[in-house]
Amino acid sequence: MSAGPGGTLLAAPSKTILASIEALLYLFEMETVTLSSKYQVVIPRSVRNRLGLRPGMKLQVIEYNGRVEFLPVRKPAELRGLLKGLEPVIEREPG
């Protein structure tokens, strides 16, 4: 335990909590980038490779709940087969 503000004792974070935080960071593989004076960011190579991003590719920019999200714009041909194997069955209420 360590002393917090006002001399109160604070419990050290448990190993379980720390392991959970580490697992989340690994899952999301967060990386930090810097916003330039021209409001530009460089997408890290590991992210570009995982998402198959290429120079000149269009991205949609969305502001959502106080964060910025970039979504790759895919050509219709790239989406072909995306729903393959999906059962087109819709459950309806009796009525």
| pLDDT tens digits, one per residue of 28-81 | 677 889 999 999 999 999 889 988 899 999 999 999 899 898 988 877 776 677
Residues 6 or more apart from 37 whose CB is under 8 A from it?
none
pLDDT attached to residue 60: 92
CATH architecture observed for domain 33-80: Ribbon (2.10)
Closest CA to 68 of 33, 38, 44: 33
Strands 59-64 and 67-72, bridge-based pairing: antiparallel
DSSP state of 7: G
70 touches 44 (CB < 8 A): no
Q: Measured in Å, how far apart are the chain's first and last C-alpha atoms? A: 63
Q: Is the pTM of this model over 0.75?
A: no
In DSSP terms, 69 is beta-bridged to 62
Token pair belonging to 41: 């960011």
